[in-house]
Amino acid sequence: MTVSARAKKFLDENHVKYEVRSHDKTFTAQGLASTEHISGKEVAKVVLLKLSGGSYVMAVMPAHQLVDMDHVRKVSGESATLADESEFQALFPDCEIGAMSPFGNLYNIPVYADEALAKDEEIEFNAGTHTEAIRMKFADFERLVRPKICKLSAVT
């Protein structure tokens, strides 16, 4: 599988400068950072959460951070749990399981981005596969996705 056609079309139609980077197969954001020889702070991982009301939200955060569910509750107004891959596989039909890009807006899923990501000029993230990543400016990501920027982790 190659870069999600939906993500590529979205970026191209919005005239965003980005780079597709091929790499050895990785299954974690920290693994991507290691393979790419970059800091985990620059790699945006996607964590899909299921809110108590039954809807999903996408938490996008630096690879080295863990989601703090208390912070999510404060931001969303609902309690949240980690969504199981079997629950959300059908939501991302053009992506390998666990390799979805942080473009929740393309799948009608609200996106929360950790405030730490906003401090980086560029971010890198899975491109729908476990062997390709997209690198782009955080400002372009923010402009296109319009995530709710908030504190998602106890780590600063």
Domain ranges across the chain:
5-150
Q: What is the pLDDT of residue 1?
A: 44
Q: Which two tokens stand for residue 78?
A: 């609902």
Is residue 26 within 8 Å of residue 130, measured between CB atoms? Answer: yes
Q: What is the pLDDT of residue 52?
A: 94
Assigned architecture for domain 5-150: Alpha-Beta Complex (3.90)
Q: What is the pLDDT of residue 24?
A: 67
Q: Return the closest-CA partner of residue 20 out of 104, 138, 126, 99.
A: 126
Q: Which two tokens stand for residue 99?
A: 């390799």
Q: Across the 156 residues of the chain, what is the mean pLDDT of every consecutive 10-residue run? A: 75 92 66 58 84 94 90 93 84 84 93 92 85 92 96 79
In the chain, where does DSSP find H-type helix?
5-13, 29-36, 69-76, 85-88, 138-145
